[in-house]
Structure 1
């Protein structure tokens, strides 16, 4: 950086007037460049951007909010960030928001599940809109706030907000059909928690292919610990030869339970998970699973929310189609 630029930064926050003087333009032109207005000649825009870089100029979000009524901040509401799926979604949403020039404020519900308070906190912080993840979506349907644009990931259709997600039921059907094709007449299910839309849809897809005669599912809470606890029950029965686990973490606990019981995978019991988390290929044995594209979902969620905020054909827009999952064949089946 030129010495003059370092001196200007050392003197305090760089002003729009300083940028205008450095670039030889008016304050209004700098404002237009800072707000990405198309009404700026490309050569002039380049000169202003160079001056901004040299001086270390950062647009004042508070001032911009007063002018536009927007804070360029999105909210994200999650029941917890302890699950791999939610943390992956947070990463994807944060990267997509940043690429569009939006900051991100995250609120977790914790044990009390008070989504009204979560929405109040986001409203007090002036977010332009919010994304609601997975287990929190059922609560959002009962408390959708006025004044905050919402995109909900994994929910039944609702006119009050945009719903996106993957086709969980289709993914479960892929998993069970794969196990059936491997010769397993009965496919047991290690289901996710009650109240989770994703878990209920995966259970529905399992039932559609497994058949009404399939035994009732055992239920975990998405964690490997719950997979191990319920896996011990499954491992104790020689009748269990194939299990579809509703996520990869529970499948990991199941694999440990089967190993402790001396049951070999896939020779004695075939196992398939859901999500294709980063470590799934490093399980022992590597886990066959259903992949959902977290990065694509995060991008789609932010894109849909920004469209709602900026009223881009909001009244005429078609809800995004459910993203199809894919089957990833590895050694556990």
Structure 2
């Protein structure tokens, strides 16, 4: 087995320099990092922290990698359902789990992330909330250092599976139900984040419906923010017949604006979060079972760790009319 001294000799640097690269010290040149990382790959070097963890039988751990967005409201319900579903399924399958947040790795390059996770005996990663902007994670998936399951992102390779609902069809279904129930033609569509994978899928579903039904479609970006959706509804809803929102949180914001303007417009959402039942008005929404989605992701991770090949898994959803009686205990 290669040692840190072997890596230093092959890279032509001091042992202390190798240590600095492994621990992501900022005062190391990119050229030196590249040489050290190349030597690590060629020698298949494993730092002592990994070896000691393996010797104490902590191998086979799974990291839940979550992107907590503190810029929007009411994030806790979905993330907690994700964490609960994954942890409970992991306990059932005798897998060890840790939680890692995007903020903990955002300043590292791919090899820094690999070293950071392998030092904790991580063999698999379940990634939640990844967007098109997360290029380092895209590269991590592409290079296949770990078994990976991505939730709500379309990545599949021999070591990577994708778990999600059909967001395009779900958005089409809930919007069509709302429009046919209310006979509107001019639609305000409040989309999610610009570079989100689900944002594009849901917008595609809305565009398909608009083309089929010959709708006048006005699209504005709400960034999954209740506050921003409220502002957009104040600005545009008066001249529209129906408001379709790409999340429940934005639907709540839009409905609040309509109430303040003292006008009625049908509104529908997407997700099926508990808070929707307290909005004061019944609204159609897509109900996703976030607990089950995450449990399925963990079950798929166990299959990958046993040598299975990556695949796409589409789970079901339901279209419901959310009301207070649906959520009270």
TM-score (norm 2): 0.71
2:150 is the alignment partner of 1:152: yes
- 1:233-269 CA-to-partner distances (Å, cap 9, x unmatched) read 233x3x2121111111111111111111112xxxx20
Residue 156 of structure 1 deviates from its aligned partner by 2.0
For 1:127 and 1:94, the matched residues in 2 are separated by: 15
Corresponding residue for residue 164 of structure 2: 165
Residue 293 of structure 1 deviates from its aligned partner by 1.3
- 1:182-223 CA-to-partner distances (Å, cap 9, x unmatched) read 211232211000111111111111111022753341112212
- 1:71 is paired with a residue whose SS is coil
Residue 110 of structure 1 deviates from its aligned partner by 3.6
After the TM superposition, which residues 18-57 of structure 1 pair with which residues of structure 2 at under 5 Å, given as runs? none
For 2:156 and 2:251, the matched residues in 1 are separated by: 32
- 1:36-95 CA-to-partner distances (Å, cap 9, x unmatched) read xxxxxxxxxxxxxxxxxxxxxxxxxx9894276x62421011221652433432232222
- 2:268 is paired with a residue whose SS is strand
Which stretches in structure 2 are left out of the alignment for 5+ residues? 1-50, 325-329
For 1:137 and 1:72, the matched residues in 2 are separated by: 29
The structure whose residues are more often strand, as a share, is 2
After the TM superposition, which residues 180-191 of structure 1 pair with which residues of structure 2 at under 5 Å, given as runs? 180-182=179-181, 183-191=183-191
Kindly indicate whether the alpha-carbon contact (under 8 Å) linking 2:105 and 2:113 is maintained by their aligned counterparts in 1.
no
Kindly indicate whether the alpha-carbon contact (under 8 Å) linking 1:77 and 1:118 is maintained by their aligned counterparts in 2.
no
For 2:265 and 2:323, the matched residues in 1 are separated by: 12
For 1:240 and 1:114, the matched residues in 2 are separated by: 44
Residue 295 of structure 1 deviates from its aligned partner by 1.8
- 2:234 is paired with a residue whose SS is helix
Kindly indicate whether the alpha-carbon contact (under 8 Å) linking 1:134 and 1:197 is maintained by their aligned counterparts in 2.
no
| TM-align CA RMSD | 2.8
Which stretches in structure 1 are left out of the alignment for 5+ residues? 1-61
- 2:122 is paired with a residue whose SS is coil
- 1:289 is paired with a residue whose SS is strand
Structure showing greater relative contact order (alpha-carbon pairs closer than 8 Å, 6 or more residues apart):
2
- 2:315 is paired with a residue whose SS is coil
Kindly indicate whether the alpha-carbon contact (under 8 Å) linking 2:68 and 2:101 is maintained by their aligned counterparts in 1.
yes
Corresponding residue for residue 209 of structure 2: 209
Corresponding residue for residue 134 of structure 1: 129
| Range that drifts further, 121-130 or 77-86 | 77-86
2:304 is the alignment partner of 1:305: no
Kindly indicate whether the alpha-carbon contact (under 8 Å) linking 2:60 and 2:124 is maintained by their aligned counterparts in 1.
no
After the TM superposition, which residues 253-292 of structure 1 pair with which residues of structure 2 at under 5 Å, given as runs? 253-263=253-263, 268-292=264-288
Instruction: Classify 1:76/1:214 alpha carbon distance in 2 versus 1 (closer, same or farther; 3 Å).
Output: farther
- 1:215 is paired with a residue whose SS is strand
The size of the alignment, in residue pairs, is 260
Residue 281 of structure 1 deviates from its aligned partner by 1.8
TM-score (norm 1): 0.70
- 1:274 is paired with a residue whose SS is coil
- 1:276 is paired with a residue whose SS is coil
Instruction: Classify 1:178/1:110 alpha carbon distance in 2 versus 1 (closer, same or farther; 3 Å).
Output: same
For 1:101 and 1:249, the matched residues in 2 are separated by: 35
Instruction: Classify 1:87/1:224 alpha carbon distance in 2 versus 1 (closer, same or farther; 3 Å).
Output: farther
- 1:9-34 CA-to-partner distances (Å, cap 9, x unmatched) read xxxxxxxxxxxxxxxxxxxxxxxxxx
For 2:241 and 2:323, the matched residues in 1 are separated by: 15
- 1:271-330 CA-to-partner distances (Å, cap 9, x unmatched) read 01000012222221133211111122111100111111122xx14x7x243113211024
Corresponding residue for residue 101 of structure 2: 108
2:289 is the alignment partner of 1:329: no
Instruction: Classify 1:135/1:221 alpha carbon distance in 2 versus 1 (closer, same or farther; 3 Å).
Output: farther
Instruction: Classify 1:320/1:121 alpha carbon distance in 2 versus 1 (closer, same or farther; 3 Å).
Output: same
Instruction: Classify 1:137/1:218 alpha carbon distance in 2 versus 1 (closer, same or farther; 3 Å).
Output: closer
